[in-house]
Chain A
Amino acid sequence: MRLGRDSVAGLIFLAVSLALLVQSFGLPQLPLVPVGPGFYPRIVLIFMAVTSAALIVQDLLARRAEPADVPAPAQPQRAYGLVALAFVIVALYLVLLPLLGYRIATVLFVAALQATLERPTTWRQWAVLAAIAIGTSAVTYLVFERYLTVLLPRGSWTDW
């Protein structure tokens, strides 16, 4: 029998809460405080373990109640590959941010994500894309650094 989505999620959270629960007993006691730093986390973790277990039970019961061969409802088609790619681009942006500095990294990020979501085909569309990328970087930099007193990250490679 295949496990449902809820059971899988429940199992993950159950495992996490039990693992941390074990860890919580290794925390030191504090002078002056009658209960240690592990006291409250244990309450939370036990609560979490119980609800995770309940979720698994609920899911299993629900699955037993229904015949297993009911076809899954037709799901709209989803572009999960694109989502993964978008996450990777954001991650790259965060890696480059402290290296290239806010201004350069942001231009690259905005351009890259735009091109990924909607590939420009004509020369004109590429120009618009570049303009949006540079514009976003320049305008946000000016507004935040000059007027909102937020010093944005500088690049350790570029000092810019």
Chain B
Amino acid sequence: MRTVLRILALATALAAMAMPAAAQNYPERPIKMIVPWAAGGDTDNIFRPFAPLLQKHIGQPIVIANVTGASGTVGAREAKGSPPDGYTLYAVHDYIHLVHYAGVTEVKYSDFEPICLLSATPSVLTASPKTPWKSWAELAEDAKKRPGQITVGATLGSTSHIFPALIEKAAGVKFKYVSYEGLAPRMNAILGGHIDLTDSNLTQKGKVDAGQLKFLAIAAEKRDPEAPDVPTLKELGMDIVYAVLRGLLVPKGTPAAVRAKLDEACGKAAKEAEFADAMKKQGTRVSYLNAAEYGPFLDKLDRESKVIMTELGLAKQ
């Protein structure tokens, strides 16, 4: 028993000695990337092709851990509680601002340090094939006649809710929201005509080509070459540009040297042609910002989110 204790003490001492060297030798073991949604979902599909590219430039395996539950806030809490040693990355999108103001979680974007912004997925206003409208104009006219009767499938308080809510405000119409969390269940419901409208993205183009869905408008600056027939909301007279923005964070307190290494590796990985290809298949474009630019960008996003949530009456006092 005494020898066991001695070995344990020795191991502890060795571990303690190894600590200060950690930042220089970083990374020495696999890095965990927390994705707060299920495998096969939109966010997972964007970070999964990125992981091997980051791995190539950082030199250690990047292991994706899907920490799901409670609108992505279980993952947020887990990321916040992880040791700030650079061995935990946290994959986020705008939800981190929204769920905070909705009062779902105490975790805030400022509990983390920015590493990089990677991608932007423009939202597309999508209608069920069972609806009569062929264009935004027809929808707007109908919506004015029947306020609060056209149903929209959305994750309440998240990006898929904010986007149609912005349209409501700009066009002066009123929709009725039905809770559908995740794109897959929304697609299921909209194909069957159980909801009239939803927020989707260009990954659903196959269904549009088959006449099973209708894209009414895209919330980008200009039309997308993948779907040139879909007008932008700006063309339709609404000043709305809305995209789901995805990036990487690390827990607050991660050493600067470690962050610099991650920042550099992310920059190289994001510039790979392979990454651009992968994003195109996800109806997404690469939208890279390094750590220094991403920080202020997040601050701005957070202020805007607060305003939107308050205006829509979704913010918790």
Contact = CB atoms under 8 A, between A and B. Distances in A.
A149 B18 contact: no
A160 interface: yes
Interface stretch (A47-55, A57-65, A83-91, A151-159): A151-159
B65 A151 contact: yes
A158 B12 contact: yes
Contacts of B188: none
B314 A31 contact: yes
A32 interface: yes
A160 B65 contact: no
Contacts of A158: 11-12, 15
Majority-rule SS of A interface residues: loop
Interface string A121-138: 000000000000000000
B18 A151 contact: no
Majority-rule SS of B interface residues: mixed
A149 B32 CA distance: 10
A33 interface: yes
Contact of A159 (B15, B61, B313): B15
- The interface size bin for chain B is 10 to 19
Interface of B: 11-12, 15, 18-19, 30, 32, 61, 63-65, 83, 156, 177, 179, 313-314
22 contacts: A30-B156, A31-B313, A32-B156, A33-B156, A33-B179, A145-B30, A149-B61, A149-B63, A149-B64, A150-B63, A151-B32, A151-B65, A156-B83, A157-B12, A158-B11, A158-B12, A158-B15, A159-B15, A159-B18, A159-B19, A160-B11, A160-B15
Given A31-B314, A149-B63, A158-B15, 12 more contacts: A32-B156, A33-B156, A149-B61, A149-B64, A151-B63, A151-B65, A156-B83, A158-B11, A159-B15, A159-B18, A160-B11, A160-B15
